[in-house]
Amino acid sequence: MAKFSIPKLGFLLLCCLAALTEATYMKYKDPKQPLGVRIKDLMRRMTLAEKIGQMTQIERTVATPDAMKNYFIGSVLSGGGSVPAQKATPETWIEMVNTIQKASLSTRLGIPMIYGIDAVHGHNNVYKATIFPHNIGLGVTRDPNLVKRIGEATALEVRATGIPYAFAPCIAVCRDPRWGRCYESYSEDHKIVQMMTEIITGLQGGLPVHSKKGVPFVAGKNKVAACAKHYVADGGTTKGINENNTVISWNGLLSIHMPAYFNSIAKGVATIMTSYSSWNGKKMHANHDLVTDFLKNKLKFRGFVISDWQGLDRITSPPHANYSYSVEAGVGAGIDMVMVPYNFTEFIDDLTYQVKNNIIPMSRIDDAVKRILRVKFVMGLFENPMADNSLVNQLGSQEHRELAREAVRKSLVLLKNGESADKPLLPLPKKATKILVAGTHADNLGYQCGGWTITWQGLGGNDLTTGTTILQAVKNTVDSSTQVVYSENPDAGFVKSGEFSYAIVVVGEPPYAETYGDSLNLTISEPGPNTIYNVCGSVKCVVVVISGRPVVVQPFVSSIDALVAAWLPGTEGQGVADVLFGDYGFTGKLARTWFKTVDQLPMNVGDPHYDPLFPFGFGLTTKPTHQN
């Protein structure tokens, strides 16, 4: 039997201990290690299945613990209106997110998943969240500091529900109001859209001083990863048809639709989402030149590129006609994370086959995974993967509602005020004997908020969430002695016999999102026009238009005394009354051209045939009044 001397035994023990320590010490789990070292260390440990799992984003309804563990899923999302329970509390959201996260952390390498949600005008899927004005209204303000503060508030409300990733902002330059997503665009002018990318700083936090260009940045647990979308030229499609073809030269693309991406990348945006649309006939989800060569290589974007919902399926027409081709084209183009969202085994199987058969090179997979891990490390997900209840009181907080109310005030545009400048109707007197409030949109919170609110397409009525309708705001604002009469669609006889001091008519579009909102006629929905004629024919009236874009108003302008574009103001209708009654002045200037007839479209400022009803930049102003 061999004999070990004591020193030799001690040395062997030390070696074993060192080996054990080496095995348990994983550099990627050490926040003190440089970012590059952590990424490299983790990637060398990963199998192909674990890498492809990271590239896969699935819907919460299929994100079972088994799915997360067995397929190493990298990301989960809520589709529009996909919630853990109707009117769910922040605590319910947190519990759901944490349940999914626990499954991710129980895998061999414990890579946390990243949960994403659309938060495009506040945390819009969530009951009792603050709903800010849609982007079309915010563009009117031309106030980057305001949108930065909205970004900060939105980040807190999203984190209040345990979610660290928001699919916002939409930085489309809408060139045709017939597009159903036009309200998600700040302006037809890229300079305003560029200015408004400051919301990214609000969502993610300000970049550290010596940041490398294009490296994503998220400043801790009170901030969220942002997503600039939809790359690129989604707002330029022919006739404004959603997901259609944008026909424009390379110079046109660079000068109109690309500039806001330069700003977003400079601000450290973590992710960029590709567009369903095409550029000169080439689907963006399959455009290697624009996604890899330009965005990643030329612009040095170092975050990850994510597809839109079933974006790979839609590379073919009809969608999903040749899915294996779609996977090859989309991933090959440079898409890093794929929003599958349901049939994830098909995606994983197809991509695995293609890598094993050298159809897609391993280098493409490694590029994708490196980018996804970079974002996860940068945002502190490895150190703080689990959500807690510390921010639940931020959801719908009074401070955020006051900010939204300020945003509403600043987003209103006064288009007409009396027959002449020396006889203005606005601001309205608070002390009046009797006021008529009329119109389909006067007492309808859902209409006020528009699409992407609680559900994908939006809802009508007042039961969707909490907020203040314009009718309620009027009642809150007028003198206690003033009688407010509400009639949704009064007939002319009722108006004439009512002895009203003046009337406020609130009409507009019903809620819609995306393709459902595409419109070739852009009319105020019935019975809006009828209400305008019945009321404004008999009494001094201000018409407030609630819409996601300019709509046909030319036939009514001569018969109304004052006209206000209120866009889609969100839950804080009090902001509308604040300005109508003179507590604050009108300051907003159109960030979109207001056409005379739809036959003129598309028509944008600078076009040779420019002949608008109200030009880009137009907006009458009023001074605040001090009424007793």
> What mean pLDDT is predicted for residues 387-409?
98
- Identify the weakest region by mean pLDDT among 21-35, 558-572, 597-611: 21-35
Confidence grade of residue 17 (pLDDT, cut at 50, 70, 90)? very low
334: left (phi over 0), alpha (psi -120 to 50) or beta: left
Model pLDDT, residue 24:
77
Helical ranges in 121-164 per DSSP H = 135-141, 144-160
Task: Work out the average pLDDT over 239-254.
Answer: 98
Residue 606, Cβ density class (10 Å: 0-12 exposed, 13-18 middle, ≥19 buried)? exposed
**Type of residue at 625:** T
Per residue in 552-594, pLDDT tens? 999 999 999 999 999 999 999 999 999 999 999 999 999 999 9
CB distance 453 to 463 below 8 Å = no
Residue 13 has pLDDT above 80, yes or no: no
For residues 306-334, average pLDDT: 98
Q: What's the pLDDT score for residue 584?
A: 98
Q: Which pLDDT score, from 0 to 100, does residue 421 have?
A: 82
Q: Does 161 have pLDDT greater than 80? A: yes
pLDDT at residue 21, rounded to an integer = 47
Q: What is the pLDDT of residue 246?
A: 98
Q: Is the pLDDT of residue 1 over 80?
A: no
Q: State mean pLDDT over 446-456.
A: 98
Which of helix, strand or coil describes residue 246? strand
Q: What is d(CA 72, CA 491) in angstroms, rounded to the nearest whole number?
A: 63
Residue 408 has pLDDT above 50, yes or no: yes
> Which among 160, 138, 162, 140 is positioned nearest to 149, based on CA atoms?
138
Q: What is the mean pLDDT of residues 445-470?
A: 98
In the set 152, 176, 336, 514, the catalytic residue is 514
CATH code of the domain occupying 45-128+149-168+184-394 = 3.20.20.300
- pLDDT given for residue 628 in this prediction: 52
Is 514 among the residues known to form the active site?
A: yes
For residue 6, pLDDT over 90 is answered with no
Sign of CA dihedral 374, 112, 275, 597: negative
* Cα 555 from Cα 522, distance rounded (Å): 13
Q: In whole angstroms, what is the distance from residue 504 CA to residue 482 CA?
A: 14
List the domain boundaries for the chain.
Answer: 45-128+149-168+184-394, 412-614
Q: Which of 308, 328, 406, 518 is catalytic?
A: 308
Three-state secondary structure call for residue 199: helix
Give the pLDDT band of residue 377 (cuts 50, 70, 90). Answer: very high
Is a pLDDT exceeding 90 seen at residue 311? yes
| pLDDT for res 16 | 46
50 belongs to the catalytic site: no
Supply the pLDDT for residue 8: 59
Predicted pLDDT at 627: 66
The answer to whether the beta carbons of residues 204 and 269 sit under 8 Å apart is: yes
Mean pLDDT of 41-59: 98
Work out the average pLDDT over 178-187.
98
Distance CA 246, CA 230 (A): 13
Residues 6+ apart with CB under 8 A from 469: 442, 443, 444, 445, 448, 462, 573
Mean pLDDT of 385-402: 98
User: What is the topology classification, in CATH, of domain 412-614?
Assistant: Rossmann fold (3.40.50)
Give the DSSP letter of residue 238: G
Summary mean pLDDT of the chain? 96
Report the 10 Å Cβ neighbour count for 358: 8
Q: Could you report the per-residue pLDDT of 184-197, keeping only the tens digit for each?
A: 999 999 999 999 99
